[in-house]
A and B are shown apart, each in its own frame.
Chain A
Amino acid sequence: DIQMTQSPSTLSASVGDKITITCRASDSTSSWLAWYQQKPGNAPKLLIYEASRLESGVPSRFSGSGAGTDFTLTISSLQPEDVATYYCQQYESYAVFSFGPGTKVDIK
């Protein structure tokens, strides 16, 4: 099974900062990777699919990049409403999906 790791596990930044979250897979997932945002008390929300494609309705300050085993989620200008936990998820191994452990983002 493909295992996913994320770094950092927590991140604190100021409004307007550019932040980057890294996701690493134990084996290649090609570009079959998604990013989700989960705000406290809410269901997750899809942000990015196929590593870099922005889901409809998601602000353009979110972007994704990477392929193979190393991926990043970037927020170009952090906003107060971006306080959330962010998860990556691989779907290359379709018999068994796997999520990363999450990165908690808050405002300094």
Chain B
Amino acid sequence: QVQLVESGGGVVRPGGSMSLSCEGSGFTFKNYGIHWVRQAPGKGLEWVAFTRYDGSSKYYADSVKGRFTVSRDNSRNTLYLRMNSLRADDTGFYYCAKDRGIFGVIPTALDVWGKGTPVTVTS
């Protein structure tokens, strides 16, 4: 079945770095844009970043711009999120989610979500 599985979460100190991965299966990964969305404990959803199916365009929320970098390796069906200069307010559950549009030039709705991976930024 169509599936996304995140990994790489954990505990990191403020100012530190962490990389998350998201592996897709059950669909043609290279044909779809993928998003990162996060959720702070007890809070709502916050969109973080998007990369087009071919990695040629990337978009970021203002809150992470300049600190987070999204990339993908379509040969490995894997999306990455490199997070630098982490802050306490980056703490939360990080989900990757597949964009609904095939070969989408622009992002649309998010139709398949992973189970998420937790990130805790604390001293």
Q: Spell out A's residues near B (CB within 8 Å).
A: 1, 32, 34, 36, 38, 43-46, 49-50, 55, 85, 87, 89, 91, 94-102
Contact = CB atoms under 8 A, between A and B. Distances in A.
Contact of A91 (B46, B107, B113): B107
Interface residues of B, number: 23
A101 B109 contact: no
Contact of B106 (A38, A45, A94, A100): A94
5 contacts: A43-B114, A46-B100, A50-B109, A85-B44, A94-B107
B102 interface: no
Contact of A49 (B35, B109, B114): B109
Contact of B62 (A36, A44, A49, A96): A96
Contacts, number: 63
Interface of B: 35, 37, 44-47, 50, 59, 61-62, 95, 97, 100, 106-111, 113-116
B-side binding surface: helix, strand, loop or mixed?
strand
Contacts of A85: 44
A-side binding surface: helix, strand, loop or mixed?
loop
B81 to A, nearest CB: 16
B109 A46 contact: yes
B16 to A, nearest CB: 26
A89 B107 contact: no
Contacts of B106: 91, 94
B66 to A, nearest CB: 15
A60 B114 CA distance: 24
B97 to A, nearest CB: 8
